[in-house]
């Protein structure tokens, strides 16, 4: 009954999405307020119905209702409750339902918070959201229906892939999807502007919060995914240039560019056409990511069951939306008016440069990700493009961008003075230089590159702080005044500084980990010790442990400091999941300050020892902390008054507020 | 400079930038992309010394030797030819005899493949996609995914 | 029933979401240009604030103010878009179509995809349901579920093993008995059960492996009737009919008056005596049980050759006269006894095709195949 209610609600949601994709659009074309007004309530109702469907599926998982094929395939009655719930989206069908749920969620948000948008823009945006919703609901219902039933129902499920039985699954996919799908709103705004053939003055102002929100979630999703892969896969790496990682990274790069170009568009009415194109490209890359992951055309840890019909269906959606929107762009872009002028050396110029770097970087990642597909299609050769390629292309592109970041926020609009800015950054430059020298002197065997890398991280952090210091006039006015000025700065200024600082923190973490990591593979017997990065790791012994749906062999270690004092304990395990008889490695991680000790187990040897792989990863947590700082930065920026206003208080036009906005 | 000249110079700069990036990308693709071979194909392939490749196939039964300490040797086979592999490190959880793997590394002069990473990334059949495709083409392995209910 | 009410309510709510905005009185849509002016006004205010904070210099502020002013002027020059020339028919048609589309698409598609009559089956509710109401299959599934998470539960295996045997899953039964023996020790009943399961698996033949199990059972409990019965059957199958009859006689003598084994043992003795008398008769054109039993006393190779010859003769006969259900049953059983499961299955397929699997004879053949552990190939 619950399951079928969910199924029915999902079908109804499709019906509403079809209505939403046509009726408001017709209303906008014929300037009929009533037709346009249907968009809001229909979007909200569509979200509610998709929510019912999703809740029903979660319920089926919680209750282990194996009459639902999807539950039978991916759940097990002995699984802990958390993983029963997260298992809902730990498979293809469920994760696509989550995708659609988030899509309708954003549609509903536009409906609820879009009350002060011009009626035609709002109607067009909701219709475009409706197209995406209808396409994906149709995809879910026809090729990936999670509500298919089994009769008679089996009594036990086949269990979730053990790698996915982790808290990471509770956070990573929802965050990532919030990011991916959040860009659909920017896309809808862009297409709506193209349909109308005009860009409202506040267009960028409306698009920016959605971009910020999506970017915030995507940043979090990527950071979380990276940390998850790091501790779960047991290889100690934090980024593999895996196609699926790239699939989430490309929209991030494009989204970051969009975030910056939208500022220029809002402040100066310039870069309009470019911003529209970026909005389309960003969501197109999100769709491409969905296609790459869901169709299984690329080998990846993320490839669940793969099915050609699904791939073809998503490919059709991809072609339809990307091709259609780009065609519309080609048709209409000419009619959009160009905006304000600016000197190449200016805030605008800096933001254009940023866009150039970011989009080029996204393009190289795209080439590296799709090239193997292309080569296989053309010549039949199977090749793989891995870290060496990206290090050689993505690296050189990022390096100048990172160096230039501190300049951007300090440059004036329209015409900037690069020497004055350089002068103001002298302190930050001095600090970075100091960090380079300190690294060379203090860290044993630090290469010049490593020291320079540390310098770049420090330069970015200090540069971001310089921005705040300058804008609050700290040092030139009394401290109390400066503090008041700092607090009075627009939130977006704080957001900018914080985001750039977060980027610097991440860079610092990456450099420190890559340059100063110590790794050691050895065989240990209980009681033996091994040295790692000036510390001593003692192997205490192994013990068998019985988990709820697995058995594991757990090895305990104790980490001793240089002086022999105990720094902490760490356990690492080999696990076998009973239902699928699948082994996994549970890495042992000990966090000391910002650094981590990482222990991974190999096979036991015949003489009672065990192969142990140990890493000392200095400052490794900074990589993800930086991501967290960037998320916070986006949240701070989102609270900026200017963004909340959207369209200002409508003193004169209170009576014309569109009906249905409060639905 | 007139406005038009200014705009042209900006566009020229951007194009030069893109051109450099494109050149870099294609250089990197030529240098850094690693080709995937099955053991039979490897016999026929012409490799430059030190060229990185990926070798895929099944772990030949009875060849896995956990040697001195952490060094491991095994052979990868496609049921026609087999290639000895040497690897130092921890094998992935799903590494076992008769299962599909991909090893990445270089061919040594003595005909042993020196792997620096071994992947047993898998779908539900514990078979990397490239390996499954190639083996299917050879008729060695059949896809047995029967997924009732879907 | 409840589901239909819920579905109807959901449909109603979805339709209302479309209908309500359409039923409001139509008004002039607001003009996008007004929004633009509001935005510019807001930008001017912001500019003043930034200038007051000293974030931008007075000259820059003045320049920016002028720029925004120019935008406002430009806007004032444009014409009002949209307006009165609204075709009245189209919106009404679209609105009506939209309201109708919700129930039509919803119910139409659901009728195609859904399983409205299938109730949800949460595992807990199913496990708490009265076991008496469960089908045998459900009970077995429940036990299997339990054992897959607790594979060391010997009692569970012990209970499940005879059920498997009764439902014809002799291989599972043998595995379950082995597990029970491993975990709980080899009692006579379990060992005999294993032997029985193995015999069933071999199409009724007490194989060497089964004999082993029965002998172990007798070592644990020398007067164990089931083991003695099957061992005697084994003798009979080897053609040692006198010995078998003697063994059965001895068993019968030791059985209490109310033993359930008395009946089967007596029947077996009668049958053995009848067959010892019949063994001397000449062999007919088709293999009978007697002939096969007789063959059992030859050397292994000769025996196989002879049986195979007879079976192929029968096979050829059935090709000419395919309506002979007894013949098909014999052929299938012979192949099973010879251990040629594939040919047995193939013969079963041919037989079913010839007899028409829906007919009475077809059903007899199917049930025989099932009792031999042969699944129909469909």
pLDDT digits (tens, 9 = 90+) for A387-444: 888 888 898 889 999 999 999 999 888 888 888 899 889 999 999 999 999 988 887 7
Rounded to an integer, the average pLDDT of C104-132 is 80
Q: How far is CA A247 from CA A243, A283, A292, A534, B92, in A?
A: 6, 12, 7, 39, 24
Q: State the Cα–Cα distance between residues A184 and A358, nearest whole angstrom.
A: 20
- The separation between the first and the last C-alpha atoms of chain C, rounded to the nearest angstrom, is 37
Rounded to an integer, the average pLDDT of A222-248 is 85
pLDDT tens-digit readout, A272-330: 888 999 999 999 999 988 877 776 565 544 444 456 677 788 888 889 999 999 999 98
User: Do A533 and A518 meet the contact criterion of CB atoms below 8 Å apart?
Assistant: yes
CB contact under 8 A, A150 and B149: yes
Q: State the Cα–Cα distance between residues A551 and C40, nearest whole angstrom.
A: 66
Q: Is C109 on the interface with A (CB under 8 A)?
A: yes
Measuring CA to CA, which residue among A233, C349, C211 is closest to residue A242?
A233
User: Do C241 and C272 meet the contact criterion of CB atoms below 8 Å apart?
Assistant: yes
pLDDT tens-digit readout, C194-228: 998 888 877 777 888 888 899 889 888 888 888 88
State the pLDDT at residue C108: 92
Q: Is A412 on the interface with C (CB under 8 A)?
A: yes
Give me A512's structure tokens.
């420190």
CB contact under 8 A, C105 and A15: yes
CB contact under 8 A, B128 and A602: no
Give me A169's structure tokens.
């699954």
Can you name the residues that pair with B71 across neighbouring β-strands? B88
Q: State the Cα–Cα distance between residues A510 and A238, nearest whole angstrom.
A: 9
Measuring CA to CA, which residue among A599, A604, A591 is closest to residue A572?
A599
- Percent of chain C clearing pLDDT 90 (strictly above): 6
State phi, psi for C15 to the nearest 5 degrees.
Answer: -65, -40
State the pLDDT at residue A188: 95
Task: Say if domain C159-222 classifies as CATH 3.40.50.720.
Answer: no
CATH 1.25.40.10 residue window(s) in chain C = 159-222
Per-position b or e across A10-47, b if 16+ CB within 10 A of its CB: bbbbbbbbbbbbbbbbbbbbbbbbbbbbbbbbbbbbbb
Q: Which ranges in chain B belong to alpha helices (H)? A: 3-32, 39-44, 129-138
Q: What angle do CA C338, C340, C343 make, to 5 degrees?
A: 125
Name the C residues in 53-82 with CB < 8 Å from any A CB. Answer: 53-56, 60, 63-64, 67, 71, 75, 81-82
User: Do C109 and A11 meet the contact criterion of CB atoms below 8 Å apart?
Assistant: yes
Q: What angle do CA C321, C323, C327 make, to 5 degrees?
A: 80
Q: Which ranges in chain C belong to alpha helices (H)? A: 2-23, 32-53, 58-77, 89-113, 123-128, 136-149, 154-166, 170-184, 188-201, 208-220, 225-237, 241-254, 262-278, 289-295, 300-320, 325-337, 341-355, 360-371
Q: State the Cα–Cα distance between residues A195 and A182, nearest whole angstrom.
A: 21
- The separation between the first and the last C-alpha atoms of chain B, rounded to the nearest angstrom, is 67
Can you name the residues that pair with A576 across neighbouring β-strands? A551, A583
State the pLDDT at residue B101: 82
Q: State the Cα–Cα distance between residues C365 and C355, nearest whole angstrom.
A: 9
Q: Is A121 on the interface with C (CB under 8 A)?
A: yes
Q: Which of A155-169, A242-256, A384-398, A474-488 has the lowest mean pLDDT?
A: A155-169
> What does the H/E/C string look like for A322-348?
HHHHHHHHHHHHHHCCCCCCCCCCCHH
How would you list the strands of the sheet with A535-546, edge to edge? Answer: A529-532, A535-546, A550-560, A566-577, A582-586
Kind of pairing, strands B34-37 and B53-59?
parallel
State the pLDDT at residue C129: 66
DSSP category for residue A477? B
Rounded to an integer, the average pLDDT of A474-480 is 83
Q: Which of A60, A120, A660 is the closest to C29 by Cβ? A: A120
DSSP E strand boundaries for A32-191: none
Give me B9's structure tokens.
């110079």
Q: Is the pLDDT of residue A642 over 70?
A: no
Q: Is the pLDDT of residue C104 over 70?
A: yes
Residue A493's contacts (CB-CB under 8 Å, 6 or more residues apart) are A409, A467, A468, A471
**Architecture of domain C295-371 in this structure:** Alpha Horseshoe (1.25)
Provide the shortest C-alpha distance from residue C155 to chain A (in Å): 20
Q: State the Cα–Cα distance between residues A112 and A99, nearest whole angstrom.
A: 20
Measuring CA to CA, which residue among A203, A214, A62, A43 is closest to residue A133?
A43
Q: What angle do CA A399, A404, A410 make, to 5 degrees?
A: 160
Taking all residues of chain A, what is their mean pLDDT, rounded to a whole number? 86
CB contact under 8 A, A234 and B93: yes
State the pLDDT at residue A301: 41
Residue A464 CB burial class (10 angstroms; 0-12, 13-18, ≥19):
buried
Interface test with B, best of A93, A344, A384 (most B CBs within 10 A): A384
State the pLDDT at residue C37: 74
CB contact under 8 A, C87 and A30: yes
Q: State the Cα–Cα distance between residues C328 and C318, nearest whole angstrom.
A: 7
Rounded to an integer, the average pLDDT of A221-244 is 84
Please list every residue in chain A whose beta carbon sits closer than 8 Å to the beta carbon of residue C102.
12, 15-16, 19
Q: State the Cα–Cα distance between residues A8 and C362, nearest whole angstrom.
A: 43
Distance from CA of residue A343 to its chain's centroid? 34
Report which listed range, A285-289, B21-25, C283-287, is most confident.
Answer: A285-289
Q: State the Cα–Cα distance between residues A78 and C151, nearest whole angstrom.
A: 13
Rg of chain B, C-alpha, whole Å: 22
Measuring CA to CA, which residue among C149, C199, C154 is closest to residue C178?
C154
Q: State the Cα–Cα distance between residues C131 and C127, nearest whole angstrom.
A: 8
Rounded to an integer, the average pLDDT of A75-88 is 87
Residue in the block written with tokens 């299984």: A296
State the pLDDT at residue A455: 94
Quickly state the pLDDT bin for A661 (edges 50, 70, 90): very low
**DSSP string computed for A154-220:** PSS-----GGG-SHHHHHHHHHHHHHHHHHHHHHHHHHHHHHHT---TTHHHHHHHHHHHHHHHHHH
Name the C residues in 132-191 with CB < 8 Å from any A CB. Answer: 137-138, 141-142, 144-145, 148-149, 151
Q: Determine how many CB atoms are found less than 10 A away from the CB of residue A330.
A: 10
Quickly state the pLDDT bin for A379 (edges 50, 70, 90): confident
Q: Is A31 on the interface with C (CB under 8 A)?
A: yes
pLDDT tens-digit readout, A149-187: 887 777 777 777 777 788 888 888 899 999 999 999 999
CB contact under 8 A, B21 and A360: yes
**Helix/strand/coil for B149:** coil
State the pLDDT at residue A305: 43
Please list every residue in chain A whose beta carbon sits closer than 8 Å to the beta carbon of residue B59.
none
User: Do A653 and C45 meet the contact criterion of CB atoms below 8 Å apart?
Assistant: no
Can you name the residues that pair with B82 across neighbouring β-strands? B77
Q: Is the pLDDT of residue C283 over 50?
A: no
**Helix/strand/coil for A265:** helix
- The separation between the first and the last C-alpha atoms of chain A, rounded to the nearest angstrom, is 29
Measuring CA to CA, which residue among B90, B141, B139, B134 is closest to residue B116?
B90
Measuring CA to CA, which residue among A148, A194, A142, A168 is closest to residue A89?
A168
């Amino acid at each position: 009954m619950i399951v079928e209610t969910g199924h029915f609600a999902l079908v109804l949601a499709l019906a509403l999405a079809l209505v939403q994709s046509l009726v408001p659009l017709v209303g906008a074309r014929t300037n009929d307020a009533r037709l346009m007004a249907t968009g809001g309530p229909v979007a909200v109702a569509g979200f509610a119905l998709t929510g019912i469907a999703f809740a029903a599926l979660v319920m089926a998982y919680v209750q282990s209702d194996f009459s639902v094929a999807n539950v039978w395939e991916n759940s097990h009655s002995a699984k802990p409750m958390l993983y029963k719930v997260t298992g809902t989206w730990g498979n293809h069908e469920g994760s696509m339902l989550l995708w659609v749920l988030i899509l309708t969620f954003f549609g509903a948000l536009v409906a609820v918070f879009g009350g002060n948008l011009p009626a035609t823009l709002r109607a067009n945006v909701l219709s475009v959201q409706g197209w995406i919703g209808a396409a994906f609901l149709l995809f879910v219902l026809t090729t990936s229906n999670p509500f298919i039933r089994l009769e008679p129902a089996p009594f036990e499920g086949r269990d979730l892939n053990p790698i996915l039985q982790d808290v990471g699954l509770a956070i990573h996919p929802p965050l990532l999807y919030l990011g991916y799908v959040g860009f659909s709103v920017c896309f809808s705004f862009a297409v709506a502007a193209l349909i109308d053939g005009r860009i409202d003055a506040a267009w960028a102002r409306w698009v920016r919060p959605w971009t910020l929100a999506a970017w915030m979630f995507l940043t979090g999703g990527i950071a979380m995914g990276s940390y998850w892969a790091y501790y779960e896969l047991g290889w100690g790496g934090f980024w593999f240039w895996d196609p699926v990682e790239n699939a989430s990274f490309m929209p991030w790069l494009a989204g970051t560019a969009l975030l910056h170009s939208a500022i220029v568009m809002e402040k100066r009415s310039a870069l309009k056409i470019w911003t529209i194109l970026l909005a389309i490209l960003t969501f197109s890359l999100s769709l491409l990511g969905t296609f790459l992951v869901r169709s299984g055309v690329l080998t990846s840890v993320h490839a669940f069951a793969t099915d050609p019909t699904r791939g073809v269906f998503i490919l059709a959606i991809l072609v339809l939306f990307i091709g259609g929107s780009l065609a519309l762009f080609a048709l209409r872009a000419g009619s959009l008016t160009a905006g304000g002028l600016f000197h190449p050396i200016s805030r605008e110029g800096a933001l254009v440069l940023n866009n150039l770097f970011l989009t080029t970087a996204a393009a190289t990642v795209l080439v590296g990700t799709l090239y193997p597909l292309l080569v296989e299609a053309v010549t039949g050769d199977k090749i793989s493009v891995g870290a060496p390629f990206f290090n050689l292309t993505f690296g050189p592109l990022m390096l100048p961008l990172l160096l230039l970041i501190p300049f951007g926020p300090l440059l004036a609009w329209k015409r900037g003075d690069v020497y004055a800015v350089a002068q103001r950054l002298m302190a930050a430059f001095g600090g970075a230089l100091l960090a380079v020298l300190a690294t060379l002197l203090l860290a044993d065997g630090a290469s010049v590159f490593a020291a320079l890398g540390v310098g770049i991280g420090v330069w970015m952090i200090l540069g971001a702080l310089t921005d705040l210091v300058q804008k609050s006039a700290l040092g030139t006015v009394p401290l109390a005044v400066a503090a008041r000025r700092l607090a009075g700065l627009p939130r977006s200024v704080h957001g900018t500084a914080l985001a750039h600082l977060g980027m610097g923190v991440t860079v610092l973490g990456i450099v420190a980990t890559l340059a100063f990591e110590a790794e050691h593979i050895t065989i240990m017997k209980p009681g033996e010790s091994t040295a790692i990065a000036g510390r001593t790791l003692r192997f205490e012994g192994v013990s068998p442990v019985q988990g709820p749906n697995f058995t594991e062999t757990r090895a305990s270690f104790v980490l001793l400091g240089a002086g022999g004092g105990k720094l902490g304990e760490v356990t690492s395990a080999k696990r076998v999941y009973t239902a699928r008889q699948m082994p996994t490695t549970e890495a042992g991680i000990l966090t000391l300050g910002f650094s981590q000790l990482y222990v991974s187990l190999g096979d036991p040897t015949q003489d009672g020892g065990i192969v142990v792989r140990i890493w000392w990863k200095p400052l490794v947590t900074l990589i993800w902390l930086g991501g967290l700082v960037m998320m916070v930065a986006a949240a701070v920026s989102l609270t900026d008054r200017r963004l909340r206003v959207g369209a200002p208080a409508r003193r004169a036009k209170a009576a014309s507020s569109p009906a249905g906005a409060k639905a | 400079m007139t406005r038009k000249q200014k705009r042209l110079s900006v566009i020229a700069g951007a194009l030069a930038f893109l051109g450099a990036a494109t050149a870099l990308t294609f250089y990197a693709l030529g240098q850094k992309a690693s080709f995937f071979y099955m053991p039979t194909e490897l016999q026929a392939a012409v490799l430059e010394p030190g060229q990185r490749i990926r070798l895929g196939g099944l772990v030949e039964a009875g060849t896995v030797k956990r040697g001195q300490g952490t060094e491991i040797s095994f052979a990868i086979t496609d049921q026609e030819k087999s290639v000895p592999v040497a690897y130092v490190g921890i094998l992935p959880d799903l590494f076992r005899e008769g299962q599909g793997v991909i090893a990445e590394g270089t061919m040594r002069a003595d005909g042993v493949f020196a792997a620096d990473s071994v992947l047993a990334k898998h779908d539900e059949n514990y078979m990397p996609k490239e390996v499954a495709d190639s083996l299917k083409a050879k008729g060695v392995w059949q896809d047995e995914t029967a997924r009732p209910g879907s | 029933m409840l589901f239909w009410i819920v579905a109807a309510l959901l449909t109603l709510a979805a339709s209302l979401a479309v209908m309500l905005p359409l039923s409001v009185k139509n008004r002039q849509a607001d003009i996008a240009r007004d929004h633009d002016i509001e935005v510019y006004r807001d930008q001017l205010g912001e500019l003043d604030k930034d200038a007051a904070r000293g974030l931008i210099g007075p000259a820059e502020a003045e320049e920016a103010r002028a720029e925004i002013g120019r935008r406002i002027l430009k806007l004032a020059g444009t014409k009002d878009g949209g307006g009165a020339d609204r075709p009245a028919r189209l919106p009404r048609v679209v609105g009506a179509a939209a309201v109708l589309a919700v129930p039509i698409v919803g119910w139409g598609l659901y009728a195609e995809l859904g399983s409205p009559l299938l109730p949800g089956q949460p595992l807990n509710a199913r496990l708490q349901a009265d076991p008496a109401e469960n089908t045998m299959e459900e009970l077995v599934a429940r036990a299997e579920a339990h054992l897959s998470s607790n594979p060391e539960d010997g009692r569970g295996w012990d209970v499940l093993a005879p059920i498997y045997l009764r439902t014809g899953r002799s291989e599972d039964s043998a595995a379950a008995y082995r597990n029970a023996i491993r975990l709980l020790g080899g009692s006579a009943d379990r060992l005999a059960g294993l032997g029985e399961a193995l015999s069933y698996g071999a199409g009724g033949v007490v194989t060497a492996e089964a004999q082993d199990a029965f002998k172990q059972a007798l070592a644990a409990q020398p007067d164990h009737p089931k083991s003695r019965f099957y061992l005697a059957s084994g003798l009979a199958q080897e053609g040692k009919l006198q010995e078998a009859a003697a063994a059965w006689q001895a068993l019968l003598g030791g059985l209490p008056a109310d033993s359930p084994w008395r009946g089967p043992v007596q029947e077996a003795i009668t049958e053995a005596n009848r067959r010892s008398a019949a063994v001397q008769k000449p062999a007919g054109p088709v293999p009978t049980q007697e002939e096969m039993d007789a063959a059992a006393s030859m050397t292994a190779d000769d025996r196989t050759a002879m049986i195979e010859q007879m079976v192929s003769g029968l096979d050829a006969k059935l090709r000419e006269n395919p309506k002979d259900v007894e013949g098909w049953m014999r052929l299938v059983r012979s192949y099973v006894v010879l251990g040629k499961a594939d040919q047995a299955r193939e013969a079963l397929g041919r037989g079913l095709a010839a007899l028409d699997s829906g007919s009475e004879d077809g059903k007899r053949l199917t049930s025989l195949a099932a009792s031999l552990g042969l699944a129909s190939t469909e």
